[in-house]
Amino acid sequence: MSLYEHPFNEHVRTYLRLEHLYARLEALVARETPLDHHFALVTLFDIMEATNRPDLKSHVLNALEKQKSFLAGFRNQPGVSNASLDATLRHLAQVFRQLQDQQGKPGQDLAGNEWLMAIRNRLPIPGGTCSFDLPSYAAWQRRDAASRHKNLQDWSASLRPMEAAITLLLQLLRSSTDKAQMMVADKGVLQLKVPRSRSVQLLRLELADTLPLVPEISGNQLLLSIRLMHPTPTGALQATTDDTPIKITLCA
């Protein structure tokens, strides 16, 4: 199945974007070519930009605290493993403490690295990181892969507490679901009323891999509209008129 997710609020939208960037950073750092490590640096700067909002850290800390209080209420409830619950609560406390103890914003220490900021400032210029513009950067790219890998790991260290927090919050959100529902998009269109009794934050939509379709999702916390599209040879999307089964999961 191909999975697509749609956030219902700005905070979850930010979480998903950061999750995407962190996953890309991990994949690029693990590789060995200078080009991969160049784009790892680009991604590192993207994460710094995405986490630059002054309210993000406080919101994430509040969200972790709310999850801790919510989960603690399940202690000694029928069907709940206290051992598993305690492990989750310890993990929450650890992630909370690591982020709380971090001084300033994620990556703030990198802003004082003149060499890195010189690279960051040249990136908006097409070809701005050529060797004649940044000879020291060209020399860094010629170092052995292990040396570059070590540098990238060190530079990304201050981004890790936020990564751990975002990963945990999304994990808890995705696990707080009703049973997945199989529905049919009538002639490629599905309108779904969102239950008022739940504060839904995330939609997860699954399509069979055998269907070359892409969902276009719009709406709000009351009503969702889903239109299924198929790509044309030119890459443009065209609405399908076929009745199509899809799996819907709402996460609160």
- Give residue-wise pLDDT tens across range 82-97: 888 899 999 999 999 9
Which of these three, 173, 199, 226, is where a domain ends? 173
Residue 244: give its domain's CATH number.
2.60.440.10
pLDDT value of position 66:
93
Average pLDDT across the chain, whole number: 92
Same domain as 147, residue 200? no
Q: What are the residue ranges of helices labelled H in the chain?
A: 10-29, 34-50, 56-72, 82-101, 114-122, 135-141, 145-155, 160-175
Q: Between residues 140 and 199, which one has the greater pLDDT?
A: 140
Q: 51 and 166: one domain?
A: yes
CA 170/CA 172 separation, integer angstroms: 5
Select from 88, 106, 97, 107 the least CA-distant residue to 168.
88
33 and 83 both lie in a single domain: yes
Q: Model confidence at 179, in pLDDT bands (50, 70, 90)?
A: confident
Q: What is the pLDDT of residue 197?
A: 66
What pLDDT was estimated at residue 64?
Answer: 96
220 pLDDT above the threshold of 80:
no
What is the pLDDT averaged over residues 28-47? Answer: 97
Buried b (16+ CB within 10 A) or exposed e, 35-49: ebbbbbbbbbbbbbe
Angstrom distances, CA of residue 83 to CA of 63, 72, 79: 23, 12, 12
Neighbours of 163 (CB within 10 A): 22
Percent of the chain with pLDDT over 70: 99
Same domain, 222 and 138: no
Q: Tell whether the model's pLDDT for residue 54 goes beyond 70.
A: yes
pLDDT of residue 219: 78
Same domain membership, residue 169 and residue 203: no
pLDDT digits (tens, 9 = 90+) for 83-138: 888 999 999 999 999 999 998 888 888 989 999 999 999 999 999 999 999 999 99
Same-domain check for residues 208 and 187: yes
Strand partners, 191: 225
CATH number of the domain to which 40 belongs: 1.10.3900.10
The pLDDT-based confidence of 234 (bands split at 50, 70, 90) is: confident
pLDDT at 199: 82
163/225 same-domain check: no
Q: Look up residue 214 and give its DSSP letter.
A: E
Look at residues 173, 202, 222 and tell me which one is the last residue of a structural domain.
173
183 in the same domain as 125: no
pLDDT at 36: 98
Residues 153, 231: one domain? no
Domain count of the fold of the chain: 2
Residues 79 and 199 in one domain: no
The residue segments making up the domain with residue 245 are 178-251
Which of 151, 173, 195 lies at the terminal end of a domain, its last residue? 173
Same structural domain, 193 and 95? no
Are residues 212 and 123 part of one domain?
no
C-alpha 176, offset from chain centre: 17
Give residue 149's pLDDT.
96
